[in-house]
Chain A
Amino acid sequence: MLGYIARRIIVMIPTVLAISAISFIIIQLPPGDYLTTYINELQSRGESVDPGRIEFLRQAYGLDKSNIEQYFFWLGNALRGDFGYSFEYNLPVTAVVGDRMFLTVLVTFATTIFIWIVSFPIGIYSATHQYSIGDYSLTFLGFIGLATPNFLLALVLLYLANVYFGTSIGGLMDPSYIDQPMSWGKFLSVLEHLWVPVIVIGTSGTAAMIRRLRANLLDELQKQYYVTALAKGLPRRRALFKYPLRMALNPFIADIGSLLPSLISGATIVSVVLNLPTTGPLLLSALQSQDMYLAGSFVFWLAGLTVVGVLLSDLALAALDPRIRLGGGAMR
């Protein structure tokens, strides 16, 4: 097991490096840099631009160097935990990102749990009652969930909440707790607000997971070992839980890899609509104002989150399934 973990982590290193390079290239794509935006802004306000100051800023941020030098400059600092400086917020990137990244992880984690809890019983029911009315209606519901864009669902929920409850369900905590240190009250307030984004982001993933579990379980239910178990007189429920269900459970863990990027995507836009203090709105504004270190770090961290998630899911899978642990680690 230890060898497997080591191998898996070593494979991860080039992936992370490539991701950092791609993130950097993407944020370099727009013509100009933050300073040109900044100069334009000053000039439009009619303020004079001091060339000396601009030159000083350019050097301080390393913007006068070539792109490749800038990349290694950024990467070298990033390895030491310094992701650069956000021009717009006048703060180190880590300070701006830190809290929001934590909330993004929280929302994503809660959504994953939500998807598991909801799709597990529904998937089992759909498979054991194939072609029943319940199966059809649940499948149809799943399709609707799959087809409705996350942010539109958020919009509709906001609208309904506004009409029927007269309250705003946006945000991730009560306004009085914003910028307060973590406390028990703040934690509870976050929990109270968390369910809306979790449901909104979770719908599409749930549908996919239900269909996956149903298909897997249906395959297993036709296999001989299950028929044998039934023939030998094992109660149906016991036979189901003892053997085929365990086999069909793999997607729950193996799919985290493909689930995470879509969850983070969903969370990005839903948080803009619901005005959540996660990464979405900040990434949007950073991209629009060419606050490159901030935007780049966001893209890098979001992708890194996926890589870590996949690593964890692979490790969990290896712990559960000896075929993977011993078979050299061919994934998915």
Chain B
Amino acid sequence: MPHYVNSADWDPYHSEALTAKQEAYFLAPQWKLMWWKLRRHRLAVIAGLVLALMYASTLVSEVLAPYEQRTRNTQFIFAPPQTMHFFHDGDFVGPFVYGYDVTLNRERMQWEYAENTAKVDRIRFFCRGDPYEFWGMIEADFHLICPAEGGTLFLLGTDRLGRDILSRMIYGARISLTVGLVGIIVSFALGIVIGGLAGYYGGWVDNLINRIIEIFQSFPQLPLWMALSAALPANWSPLLIYFGITIILGLVEWTGLARAVRSKLLALREEDFATAAFLMGASPRRVIFRHLMPSFMSHLIASATLSIPGMILGETALSFLNLGLRPPITSWGVLLNEAQDINAVALYPWLIFPVVPVIVVVLAFQFLGDGLRDAADPYK
């Protein structure tokens, strides 16, 4: 058998030739890898979309809500939810509700509501309704949907002052959703600085900080929150109370994040690139923030996402107990405060509707956080 030699030139890279797709994958920055991995996590993407929609709604709450949050429909106290219909007497008339006939039951001293099927209240879209101040500044009266002229539209019923619960829930989202965000910023800052100190310096600093974290963690959260918010002066304005509550929520939650930062830093500071930066004379601050932090930022964001629902639930619980936000501020917890009396709930079960968005938001954050946590380590 003759000796065979390929006459073509030797290409040293021929076995490693990458397709364009592979090259894009290998050269992709970390955030892109994370995004690709997150995209495959269906539930997380859906949860993210739901949250994005809800947060977007807080920008235009006034327009979305059919009523202004303080509008009192004094003739409709504790009116049950009106169902939306499309067909009247077999004819399609578009979305409408039947008006209520109100009678006072003198025996039980209760207003009783009966659907009047002759009274067709067509829902109006892109219409003029209750006047409001957009973000407390611009006066307007434009709504996405409004009740019919002279009619009512209580899709989720009304409360003891005749205020539309759906509208109040839409307004409440603004407070309830942002409480977690502001709170997480506080605990994020605390967690990074304190956990960073412990992880970077190690030794007795680490020991001391660990002890402090342990002590904080042995306090049951809720009693601690209750005690701290009872300390907020009663004469503060609602806005100040709001910030006070968010800071309290953040102050109690930082320990988990600090632990995460610490353990990551302890592992990372042994890496060669950290030593190199240190030997080249970089200050601790530069080593931590410029070299070490980016390596685990994604992980931190994921764990922060997972602790937001805790804060939202915390606010709800505090407001429910009268220790948190107070009217005139509307949050889901404040709305649920009305449902505290079980007899009221038994008579007017629609008072517990604000539970639904709370559960949806908490679930969504949970799924999104789980997805982010898996995606935070794209090489796995």
Interface residues of A (CB under 8 A from B): 14-15, 18-19, 22, 26-27, 29-31, 143-144, 146-149, 151-152, 155-156, 158-159, 162-163, 168, 170, 258, 260-262, 264-266, 268-269, 272-273, 283-284, 287-288, 295, 298-299, 302-303, 306-307, 310
Contacts and interface: CB of A to CB of B under 8 A. Distances in A.
A307 B216 CA distance: 11
Contacts of B359: 144, 147-149, 152
B224 A26 contact: yes
B152 interface: no
Nearest to B212: A18
B358 A152 contact: yes
B216 to A, nearest CB: 8
Contact of A149 (B219, B224, B227, B317): B317
Nearest to A258: B217
Q: Is the interface of A mostly helix, strand, loop or mixed?
A: helix
- Which of A26, A288, A306, A307 has the most C-beta atoms of chain B within 10 angstroms of its own C-beta? A26
Nearest to B235: A31
A15 B214 contact: yes
B329 interface: no
Q: Is the interface of B mostly helix, strand, loop or mixed?
A: helix
Contacts of B214: 15
Interface in B204-235: 211, 214-215, 217-224, 226-228, 230-231, 233
A149 B224 CA distance: 18
- Which of B215, B349, B355, B359 has the most C-beta atoms of chain A within 10 angstroms of its own C-beta? B215
B316 A149 contact: yes
B127 interface: no
Closest 4 CB pairs of A and B: A29-B231, A265-B222, A264-B220, A287-B230
Contacts of B224: 26, 299
A288 B230 CA distance: 7
Contact of A155 (B309, B321, B352, B363): B352
A31 B219 CA distance: 23
B342 interface: yes
Nearest to B363: A147
Given A156-B355, A159-B349, A307-B218, A295 B342 contact: no
B188 interface: no
Contact of B218 (A14, A148, A284, A306): A306
Given A158-B342, A159-B342, A269 B227 contact: no
A159 to B, nearest CB: 5
19 contacts: A27-B227, A30-B233, A143-B363, A143-B366, A143-B367, A147-B366, A148-B362, A149-B355, A155-B352, A162-B342, A261-B217, A261-B218, A269-B317, A272-B321, A287-B227, A299-B223, A302-B219, A303-B219, A306-B219
